[in-house]
Structure 1
Amino acid sequence: MRIVVALGGNALLRRHQPLTAENQRINVRHAAQALAALVREGHSLVVTHGNGPQVGLLALQAAAGPADGAYPLDILGAESEGMIGYLIEQELAGLLPGRDIATLLTQVKVAADDPAFARPTKPIGPVYDAATAKRLAGERGWQVAPDGDGWRRVVASPKPLEILEARVVSLLVERGIIVICGGGGGIPVVTRKDGSLSGVEAVIDKDFASELLARQLCADMLLLLTDVDAVYADFGTEKARRIDELSAAATALESFPPGSMRPKIAAAASFAGTTGHAAAIGRLEDAAEIVAGRKGTRISG
C-alpha cells in the first residue's frame, strides 16, 4: 500500500524534554524503527512530521542574534524541514541499507485572507509557566495561550489548500523512493497578484497538511502516529473508553478535546470520507499493527 505516515511531535521530542540534538536523534531513531517495519512489509511510504518545538527554538535563536538577523516563520519552517528530514533520513538509511530515501522541502499554498491570521492558535516553541509566558509575550510581542499543563507561544495556522510539490513526491514514490516531506505542515506560501509565491508568517497544522497530501497522492491509507494507543471517548477521565473504529460520516468532532486529538480525527475523517480509503490513529511503536488492523483506531468512509 501507499501510506502517508504523519509523525506526531512525540516522535521527535517528548513534552518537557530538553530540545537538544541528541534527544531528537534518540527519538527519531525510535520512530525510524517503526517506519522501517512498514517498509519491510512491502508498503510504500511518504513520511511527514511536526516541527512545533523546533521552529519555536529556531525563532528564539534568531531573536537572540543581531536585530537584522531575524527570519520570518516560513524560512524557519524550511530550516526545520531540512534539519528534521536529515535526522529521519539518516536513521532510516541505517535500518534500510540500499533503499533510496529523499527529503523534499515542501511549499503549501494557503489563502492570504484566511481568518486564522487574525486568530493565532498553533503552539510553537518551549513550554513555559504562565508568568514566564506572559512576560515574554510583553517583551517580544508574542501571543501566548495555555497548552496542557503549561503555556506556549501561538501563531497563525491557516488551512492548507494545495501541496505544491505533490507531483514531484508522486514521481519519487513511483520510482520506489521513500520520501520525507511536508515537515511541520509544509512551508506556508500565498500567491501574489503576478502569480509568484511569497512565504507568510504561519505554521500549518501537520495533520491537515498530511491529509491533503494523502489525497493528492491518491494514497491507500493515512496513518497518524502519536503517543497514545488509540482514540478515547472521555479521555483523561475515569470514564475513558477506547474506540476501535469510527465512521467518517458519524464522527462528532465536538465530542473530542480541541487540542491534539481533534485535528487528527478531523483529518482522518476527511480523508476516509473523501477517498473511501481507511485512515488510522495510534501509537508510534504500534505502526505495523495499526496498518494490519490489530491496534489503534480505524476511521472508515
Structure 2
Amino acid sequence: MSDATAPAFTPLRSVLYMPASNAKAVEKAKTLPVDGVIFDLEDAVAPDAKPAAREAAAAAVASGAYGRRTLTIRVNGLGTAWHDDDVVAAAQAGPAGIVVPKVNNAGEVRRLVAAIEKAGAPDHTRLWAMVETPEAIFEVRDLAAADERLAVLVMGTNDLVKELYATHVPGRAPLQTALSLSVLAARAAGVAILDGVYNDVKDVDGFLAEAVQGAEMGFDGKTLVHPGQVAGANETFAPSAQAVEDARAVQAAWEAGDGSGVVTLNGKMIEALHVESARRTLSIHEAITALEAERG
C-alpha cells in the first residue's frame, strides 16, 4: 500500500516485466536487484505459448526462490480466451499480486476480486489493476476505491498513448492529465501506483528523465522492460542521502520542541505536516535499507 508509515510497507521502486514463457528470464529474475517482478502471460507471450507460460509463472511464484522480491503474475485480460484459467492458476500460486490489464471501472474491479477469491487466493494476494484506457481515466477515482483487495494501480502508458491517438514525446505532455488524475486517485484511495514503462532500453538519459518526472509526480515506482533500467529506478524512487538527513533533522527539531506546534529549523518554520512527510521519508529509507541488506 502507499502508506509508508504502515508496518507492511514494501518498496516498489523497480517492477520488471519478465515473459513467463522465457525460462532464462524467469531464472535471471532471481538475481536482479529489483523490488518486484511481473511474470507476464499477456503481451510478451505468443498465443500457443500461453498455457506453458501460465504453468511456469505459477511454479516460479510457488518456488520460494526469489527472496523478498514482490512477485506478481500478469494475466490476460477480461474477455480473452485465457483469462479465466490464468486467474485460477495465479490465485492458487499465491503471488503478492495478480496484475490485470485494461481494468476500466469499479464494477470490473469487484468482478475480478470475486474471481480471485472464488479461485482460493490467499489473503496476501492482492489485485493490481492496470489503468490504460480513456474510460479507466474517467473512472479512476471510483476504480481505485472499489475494493480493499485492490492494492496497486499500474499505468499502461503504451496502450494509453495508442488509445488517445497520441505520440510518445519527451516530457509526456499528452499523458500529463491522465498521469496526474491517476496519482490523485491512488492517494485518495490509499493504494500504491506505478508509472508506465520506458520503451527505448538504449536511451539511458531519456529513461532517467522520465523516472525523475514520475517520482516528482508522486509515483511509488516504475514498471520496467529491461534489467538495465533497474538501478536507475531504484536510485530515483529512493530518498536521497540529503533528503534522509533533512528528514532526521526535522524530526529531531520537532521532538526537541515537544510538539509545541511552533518549531523552527535553520530559520524555517516546521509544522506537523512537515514532520509527517519526514517520518514517511525515513520509513521508506528504512524499508529500502532492510531490503537491500537482506540481498547483500
Higher relative contact order (CA 8 A, sep 6+): 1
TM-score (norm 2): 0.32
Q: Which has the larger radius of gyration?
A: 2
